[in-house]
Amino acid sequence: MAIREIIRLDNPVLRKKAHRVTSFDKKFQQLVDDMVETMLDAPGVGLAAPQVAVSQRLIVVRLPDDEDSRQEYGDEAGKLYVVANPEIIKASKEMVEGVEGCLSIPGYVGTVDRHEKVTVTGLDRHGKPLRVKATGWLARVFQHEIDHLDGRLYIDIAKEVWQPKAEDEAEESQP
């Protein structure tokens, strides 16, 4: 495993629609492992392949696993999701406003409306079909990461973007 460089806003890969994953070979497995290690090192709760300059439809998501997170997120805390070719097949009508950041846009956060609940389908790291029903923060992270696969960033849909004060930034987790 290796920690990969997370590209920034000025890299054109972030603005391109990523290609479907068609091979689940050793190279793909290495990418998955590297992305998980990179996300955890950052630290973040989600990472899309375009953020490490790989134009593939692949995301990794993992909510924190500390004691407070286990109380708040229950079984979802610490659970790792690896999803190739993810698609949101169902989304609640209910929208929720929340603050988001992005590992590719460090030092900024923004207010974004997202669906409260989503159902995501795709393939796991071995190419087997999977389905995830996500609510709350987990749903927000999935939507944020899937947006990356279409070249869309949270700043494109944010109501407001700002640089938080240092003490505020420590409290924010970045998808």
What are the residue numbers of the active site? 145
Q: How far, in Å, CA of 141 to CA of 139, rounded? A: 5
Give the CA distances from residue 127 to residues 15, 82, 97, 123, in Å, rounded to whole numbers and listed in that order: 26, 10, 34, 5
C-alpha triplet 170, 151, 8: angle, nearest 5°:
45
CA-CA-CA-CA dihedral for 168, 75, 153, 33, to nearest 10: 110
Phi and psi, residue 161, nearest 5°: -130, 135
Q: Answer whether 102's CB lies under 8 Å from 11's CB.
A: no
